Amino acid sequence: MADRALRGTHMGSTSLESEEGVVFVERQNVDFTCPSGHTFEITFAIDAEVPDTWECPLCSKVAIRNGVEDFQEEKSTKPQRTHWEQLMDRRTMEQLQILLDERLEVYRSGRRRPGGY
């Protein structure tokens, strides 16, 4: 059986293509510092728009690009709403109770879908 084994490379582990003849785009390294004092470097293409902030890979806080002095953190003008608040915008408690009663009746009758199939 061993003489019939298929030999080769591991699937997906390495590429068989070479980098010969490939011209890489010009790059720039940008330094960021987070509030915890972590400094890290991210590589961008020269023509890419570099953001003022980046998530710190160590503590996940918002890091600011070095050299940016007048950064103002964008604050959400609209408060986050829970799923319950969004549901209550669409239905009243009476409608929800009717819907619950209908679904419980379907469940208790053994039918999983309206129509009996």
Q: What residues are designated binding site for Zn(2+)?
A: 34, 38, 56, 59
Residue ranges for the known binding site are 34, 38, 56, 59
User: Are 54 and 71 spatial neighbours (Cβ–Cβ below 8 Å)?
Assistant: no
Q: How far is the C-alpha of 110 from the C-alpha of 113, rounded, in Å?
A: 9
Q: How far is the C-alpha of 21 from the C-alpha of 56, rounded, in Å?
A: 35
